[in-house]
Amino acid sequence: MFAKIIPAVRLPKSLGTYDYAVPERYRGLVRRGSWVIVPWRGRPVDGLVTELSETASVENGRIAELLGFGDSHALEEDLLSLPQKMSDRYLVSPATALKAFLPRTPKTKLLTDITEANPPEQTVRTKSNLAERLLIRYRRPDEKIAEAIRLTKSTVDSGRGAVVITPHSAEVAELVRALTFPDGPPVMEIHGGMTGPRLRINWKRLLSEPVAIVVGTRLAALAPIRSPGLFLILESDSPDLRQYDQNPRYDSREIALWRADESGAGLAYLSHAPRLEEYALAAEGRLSRLATPTSDPKTVLVNVTGNPRGHDHPLSPAIMNRTEESLRQGKKVLVYHNRLGTAGALICNGCRLVFRCGRCDIALGVGSSGLRCPRCATTTALPSACPKCGDTNLHNVGLGTKSLETALQREFPESKITAYDSDLSDEERSRAIDESDVLVGTRLILHDLAELPSRADWGCVAVTDLDGLLSFPGFRVTEDAWRTVRILKDIAASSEAPLMMQTLDPDGTKIRLLSSNERDFVATELEARRGSAYPPFGTLLTVTVRSQSQDETERQAKELVAALKEAIVPGHGTVAGPLRHRRPFRDGMWRSVIVIKTGTDIPPSVRQALTELPESHIVDRNPETIG
């Protein structure tokens, strides 16, 4: 007997399964889905059996025998089918896909003395007794936890297991406590922060449990739960639900959808502001949109054209008056200002030189301890003179959170003003929410206030630069800006506070769209995506070229662009680049990005060209950001 096996190793995209001989002593024990150990280039590696046959596709004399088992239980069909699905979707080999989630078995843990295999479970593939597919928008973190408890409890009470996925490993322990029910099934953690041995132990435990609850990060979407009844994704709009900086760049939201379809399990996406991809699924009838919170706060667009306070004070009189009133009432004020440090840039008054990052070629931000690149985090000392003309007259441009903190402290000397950004430790951020009267925060504050329990009573929530939310590149910029506004609305609504957003163009179409209701925004933006053939109505692929040398990276990227343009049939796709990566130097490697835009189904010539790429190149499908 012979078995076709996917080895859990990184292989070129064009390679698939390999034939191995099944020793006579393992006849009847090996079956489709078996987790086995096979020899690979002189060492044992884990693998997955996809097919059994009495004949081999190569000469018998060249076929090695499998060595043993990683576990006596076989993987369920919804997990067994994933390596090939991930290969097709993310343009990697099935072996590379399998290596992304199958734990490694040490030599000392190899199972060779199995005498009786567990019989294949005849899982009934029926829909869960839950609503089949749910898209749920919540406003407060307690609503998120309550909904997770309700859905999970209903699932396990029906005799099936649940997989609960959060984008943040720091929240796993809290979810485990919340989902541990009296006399309920075991709750197991699966996340990338676990050691290899612990991950393997939890995998084997899950394979042996008829019903279990899995809680973890994106890796939990690939957990071997035996009778799945629910896949629940929390904060489903988070980019951290995607794998980063290595192949395969899988998306746990897509993995959960595939497994729910295959197993007949329920599926729920929970978020403050769902992505347009989920809204598109709802429009197709594949998700049911539940009623969303309707108590939106009063939203005011503040025209700051000709602000009488001047360019060095970014808050308008209207917001300053509201801040003063809120503080007088004993309430807190949140100012969303997405610019770190003291200033956004440093400029020479003599020759107008802008101090830039030598790697990223963008303006260096000004902090208390020096200049800092907002992309690659490279720091340098504050210069005393211009390196080009020698002028010592240097000045800051664009207030950062630290400067705004200082300006507000002058205005309200009796109040505690805190710049809430990544310069603060976790403990300092926690204290700041409780002790500060005014918080000046970057994007970091959105998660901490919207997703974690907060005791703050807001009197006002303000945005200093609504126009700036639309200034970033990429087809998702309007969606990302709307999501930011949506979360700020929820924070304001939690205390019945107004949301005041400063803009230079209050009558602009895009600005009005950001402050519109959910239904109007989704309909307008989906139509725009459809007209431009961007995801979910088209496919955007990025190829990241990496090398330790900047010159070599640029050379390879240019050669690849030329090769792709020649290989792709006209009309099958367009190629752009090479483009500068948003973090061109990271972890000792230089990066350059190539973008390919094509139809929803990738044409054969595009797929073939990408299949022939070196394994070191990272391919991302419909990325959250370019690069």
Residue 525: pLDDT above 80? yes
The reported pLDDT for the residue numbered 505 is: 87
407 vs 419: CA distance, rounded Å: 11
3-state secondary structure of 423: coil
Q: Which class for 95: exposed (0-12), middle (13-18), buried (19 or more C-beta within 10 A)?
A: buried
Question: 175 near 166, Cβ under 8 Å?
Answer: yes
Query: Domains in the chain and their CATH numbers?
Result: 2-109 (3.40.1440.60), 133-289 (3.40.50.300), 299-528 (3.40.50.300), 539-621 (3.30.70.600)
CA distances from 451 to 136, 198, 435, 445 (A): 15, 28, 19, 10
- C-alpha 171: how far from chain center: 15
Q: Which of 107, 14, 7 is nearest to 64 (CA)?
A: 7
Question: 518 near 538, Cβ under 8 Å?
Answer: no
Structure tokens at 150: 């309700």
Look up tokens 């690939």; give the residue. 222
The reported pLDDT for the residue numbered 398 is: 67
Per-residue pLDDT tens digits for 198-246: 999 999 999 999 999 999 999 999 999 999 999 999 999 999 999 988 8
The reported pLDDT for the residue numbered 125 is: 45
To 10 degrees, what angle do helices 141-157 and 444-451 make? 60
Q: What is the mean pLDDT of the chain?
A: 88
Total Cβ atoms within 10 A of residue 166? 27
Please state the φ and ψ torsions of residue 207, each to the nearest 5 degrees.
-65, -25
Per-residue pLDDT tens digits for 296-322: 889 999 988 766 554 456 788 999 999
Q: What is the DSSP string of 119-148?
A: PPP-------SS-SEEEEE-SSHHHHHHHH
Per-residue pLDDT tens digits for 66-120: 999 999 999 999 999 999 999 999 999 999 999 999 999 998 888 877 665 454 4
Per-residue pLDDT tens digits for 333-356: 999 988 765 566 788 888 888 888
The reported pLDDT for the residue numbered 81 is: 93
Q: Which class for 504: exposed (0-12), middle (13-18), buried (19 or more C-beta within 10 A)?
A: middle
Q: What pTM was estimated for this model as a whole?
A: 0.88
32 vs 248: CA distance, rounded Å: 24
How far the first Cα of the chain sits from its last, in Å, is 47
The reported pLDDT for the residue numbered 376 is: 65
The reported pLDDT for the residue numbered 116 is: 53
Look up tokens 């067994």; give the residue. 80
Q: Which of 78, 47, 81 is nearest to 65 (CA)?
A: 47
6 vs 35: CA distance, rounded Å: 10
- C-alpha 624: how far from chain center: 8
Please state the φ and ψ torsions of residue 166, each to the nearest 5 degrees.
-120, 145
The reported pLDDT for the residue numbered 130 is: 44
Kindly state the DSSP code that residue 390 receives in the 8-state scheme: -
140 vs 134: CA distance, rounded Å: 18
Helices and strands in the chain, H and E counts = 17, 27
156 vs 158: CA distance, rounded Å: 5
CA angle 389/391/393 to nearest 5° reads 145
3-state secondary structure of 586: strand
Per-residue pLDDT tens digits for 469-503: 887 778 899 999 999 999 999 999 989 999 999 98
Widest CA span of the chain, in angstroms? 87
Percentage helix, strand, coil, to 5, in the chain?
35, 25, 40
Q: Is the dihedral of CA 566, 570, 571, 577 positive or negative?
A: positive
Per-residue pLDDT tens digits for 453-463: 767 799 999 99
% of the chain residues with pLDDT over 70: 92
Banded model confidence at residue 61, pLDDT cuts 50, 70, 90: low
The reported pLDDT for the residue numbered 392 is: 87
The reported pLDDT for the residue numbered 168 is: 92
Q: Which class for 474: exposed (0-12), middle (13-18), buried (19 or more C-beta within 10 A)?
A: middle
CA angle 218/487/429 to nearest 5° reads 75
76 vs 178: CA distance, rounded Å: 27
Question: 281 near 253, Cβ under 8 Å?
Answer: no
Q: What is the DSSP string of 304-347?
A: -TT-TT-TT--S-HHHHHHHHHHHHTT-EEEEE----SSEEEEE
Per-residue pLDDT tens digits for 414-451: 999 998 887 788 888 888 888 999 999 888 888 888 87
